[in-house]
Amino acid sequence: MSTLRTKMIELLRQDRKREYLNLCTQDYAEAVSIAQEIFPEQYKKTGTGMDPFDSLYDKALEMKERGNTEDEIRILETAVQNGSAMPYCYERLSILYSKQKNYKRVYEICMKWFDAVFWKLPNASTSSLRLLERLEKLREKQNNAIITSMRISLEKANVKGIPEYIKKLRDNSTNSENFENFRLEGRAALMFSGAGFCVTMRESPDLALKFNNEEFYAEVKHFRKKEQDRIDDARMSDPNCCVDEFGPYLSPYGDTFQLEGKYAHEQVYDVAKKKINQYKEHAPNILVIESSSSCIEDTEIRPAIDMINEDVSSGKCPGLAKLICLMRFVLANQ
């Protein structure tokens, strides 16, 4: 394996987008050759007439020349919603929406580009860098607004430990995954406060809780969106999905076994076990599951609890006895 190939794969694995894209720009010819091996299906779609924007390109340019912004946006949105691999659609839409000061839609368009695979193709690296720059600026503004809103909400709820928590948010504002994890700790704190608990935010476990003079501790775990979610979403967005000669039918979703080698409830159990050292000794502990993935729902909690109880009763894993509750926090209105 070439040095460049190893470096590209490592940067992708670590989600270091800017470094990956800069590398592709610097060693363009070799990077294209490597990417064609790594992403053969994506290269089949580009430049073969299979892209939804291929048939719309001339019309979009015509609307641009006429200054017909409304129809140009409509055409570009059609291409984007149908999974176009053409970065022009996303760049042009982000420019048009920025002119309209519709920054929420600009952010969504940029995120849609980076949620797909096509940004990883070196052919799109220059456009992807521009979209990444726009996304990072928007994310900085968005995160600052989130931090301010969270601080105000926590103060109103009389939660303790706010300054240290806000510092963690600010220190991780450029790392989207860490920032989201810490943000959800704040949401969990507000949930417990709203239920009548006195809440203190801390390092580990994440929350100290008090109710009727009884002390509890809560550790928060966030399950991010999974690759299986993207596969399920793409399948279900296909108008021909879930329909056969007998009519529409219910389609299964959220099966993580094929991609990850474990069922979702087993992953919840694994998390409970890995966090044993973070549970407070000689105190009741709660594990709060927050999930952005459709693979982790309420139905996964019960079998995970059964596995935990089995380990405790058999003596296989006595550390799990520190855990008195496993609960899922529904992330409505994220």
Encode pLDDT of 50-64 as tens digits. Answer: 677 888 889 999 999
**Which residue, 137, 167, 194, sits at the end of a domain?**
137
**Which residue, 137, 172, 187, sits at the end of a domain?**
137
- Same domain for 71 and 200, yes or no, is no
pTM: 0.71
Q: Tell me, yes or no, whether 151 lies in a domain.
A: no
CATH number for the domain harbouring residue 111: 1.25.40
> How confident is the model over 163-196, as pLDDT tens digits?
999 999 999 998 888 999 999 999 999 999 999 9
- Same domain for 199 and 90, yes or no, is no
**257 CB contacts (<8 Å, ≥6 apart)?**
263
Q: Tell me, yes or no, whether 105 lies in a domain.
A: yes
- Same domain for 98 and 166, yes or no, is no
- Same domain for 124 and 180, yes or no, is no
- Report d(CA 32, CA 72) in Å as an integer: 31
Supply the range of the domain harboring residue 242. 159-329
Instruction: Give me the number of domains the chain comprises.
Output: 2
Residue 236 — very low, low, confident or very high, per pLDDT cuts 50/70/90?
confident
- Same domain for 109 and 248, yes or no, is no
